Structure 1
Amino acid sequence: MSLFDQSTLPLADGELEWHAHWLDAERASQLLQQLIEQTPWQQPELQLYGKRHLVPRLEAWYGDAEASYRYSGYTHVPFPWTPLLSEIRQQVEAAAGQPFNGLLLNYYRDGQDSMGWHSDDEAVLGRNPVIASLSLGGTRRFDLRRKGQSRIEHSLALEHGSLLVMRGPTQHHWQHQVAKTRSACEPRLNLTFRLLRLPA
């Protein structure tokens, strides 16, 4: 089933909002270049099944001072917000109707960089987290499958300047991925904003 060119995506047991041209191409290209150049990229090493593996992409975690974020056995200590990222955060918060205190940047350098199947369902994100995902650069396919299933039920092309917002029970019932591809593709940045529910 194709979910292209819709503002509200039909997903059973989930809530997805899709803004295909949230940023105009010129502004999106400016941000892409600035963020690639200015971000202190890291490539964490994770231990899976007794073996150590480099994450198949580059990452950087930004956030409020107390917003350390642990997932996949690795703790991300936040870099402080830059003026540019603070500006983007304000715009994304307005679009999503939700405050955010953390931002994960993923840099997919080519088609061999990827993100495996997962749900953003860590306890620190709360019961029904809102995840806002801004895509810059080359188009990559975003797949969705029901938890416990192997069949891809939906796919969406994440295009330059687009914004995807996942909310409600989505993370309870669905997993998502950005798979490797042998097709030629330009470098891509993905900015995923989230709200960590931290102790007062």
Structure 2
Amino acid sequence: MLSLFEEPSEYPVNILPYDGTVQYYGKVFSREMSESYYVYLLGEIPWENDEAVIFGKLITTKRKVAWFGDLPFEYTYSQRTKRAIAWTPELLELKKRCEEISGESYNSCLLNLYHDGSEGMAYHSDAEKDLKKHGAIASLTFGAERKFAFKHKTTKEKVELWLENGSLLVMKGTTQDHWLHRLPPTTRVKTPRINLTFRTIEE
């Protein structure tokens, strides 16, 4: 019988050596389901180019984003504010799957579309004032596999892993206090990656 889901490890390993918890569950959707969600997300999400204020200058990125939530939450990062739009049935399915696996609850989701390996994300922490302090952030990947890197803010120790198509990574606890993370650019990836980061906004 064809399973819609992959069965994640019952006890995911914390990939960080100290000062935080990052659990990688590997593939939690079958190849067929991952492809189905990828096609849906690529074609049906109202993607917009992201904006950021860097050194006082407004920059428009090639990467595209979308912001969904239980309510029209406002979320501010890089000095730009976004207002959440209502969930689609497909996004609610994905949220439920992340909640079942991680044992956490989420009320919003920031989606990122990286068209190819030339688009990435610099080192940063998800510690904006709108976010629940020490709350869990569940990150789903569909499409191209990409390297994901962590760097400790004090010791500068690095931890890297490959995020697979249909996989789930959960960051929680004091991770954002002590670690930066990034999606490094690469010339080897020629196809899109879609990343969904389910999180909790404090009301």
Q: TM-score, normalised by structure 2?
A: 0.89
Could you tell me whether the CA contact under 8 Å between 2:72 and 2:86 is conserved in 1?
no
How far off is 1:117 after superposition? 1.0
Give the Cα–Cα distance (whole angstroms) in 1 for the partners of residues 68 and 43 of structure 2. Answer: 16
Query: What is the DSSP-based 3-state SS (H/G/I as helix, E as strand, rest coil) of the residue aligned with 1:61?
Result: strand
Give the equivalent residue in structure 2 for 1:120.
Answer: 126
For 1:91-170, what aligned pairs fall within 5 Å after superposition? 91-148=97-154, 151=156, 153-170=158-175
Number of aligned residue pairs: give it.
193
Amino acid at match of 1:108: Y
Query: What is the DSSP-based 3-state SS (H/G/I as helix, E as strand, rest coil) of the residue aligned with 1:160?
Result: coil
How far off is 1:47 after superposition? 2.1
Give the Cα–Cα distance (whole angstroms) in 2 for the partners of residues 96 and 38 of structure 1. Answer: 26
State percent identity of aligned pairs. Answer: 36
Structure 1's unaligned 5+ residue stretches are none
- Return closer, same or farther for 1:125/1:47 CA change in 2, 3 Å cut-off: closer
How far off is 1:127 after superposition? 2.4
For 1:1-200, what aligned pairs fall within 5 Å after superposition? 7-11=12-16, 12-148=18-154, 151=156, 153-198=158-203
How far off is 1:19 after superposition? 1.1
Give the Cα–Cα distance (whole angstroms) in 2 for the partners of residues 145 and 44 of structure 1. Answer: 24
Runs of 4+ in 1 over 3 A off after TM superposition: none
Could you tell me whether the CA contact under 8 Å between 1:144 and 1:177 is conserved in 2?
yes
Structure number having the greater strand percentage: 2
Give the Cα–Cα distance (whole angstroms) in 2 for the partners of residues 61 and 119 of structure 1. Answer: 18
Could you tell me whether the CA contact under 8 Å between 2:53 and 2:80 is conserved in 1?
no
Give the Cα–Cα distance (whole angstroms) in 2 for the partners of residues 99 and 50 of structure 1. Answer: 36
How far off is 1:163 after superposition? 0.1
Instruction: List per-residue Cα deviations over 1:28-73 (Å, max 9, x = no partner).
Output: 0100001100011011332211322112411000112242211111
- Return closer, same or farther for 1:197/1:139 CA change in 2, 3 Å cut-off: same
Q: TM-score, normalised by structure 1?
A: 0.91
Give the Cα–Cα distance (whole angstroms) in 1 for the partners of residues 56 and 73 of structure 2. Answer: 28
- Return closer, same or farther for 1:58/1:183 CA change in 2, 3 Å cut-off: same
How far off is 1:76 after superposition? 1.0
RMSD between aligned residues: 1.7
Amino acid at match of 1:7: P
Give the Cα–Cα distance (whole angstroms) in 2 for the partners of residues 152 and 60 of structure 1. Answer: 32
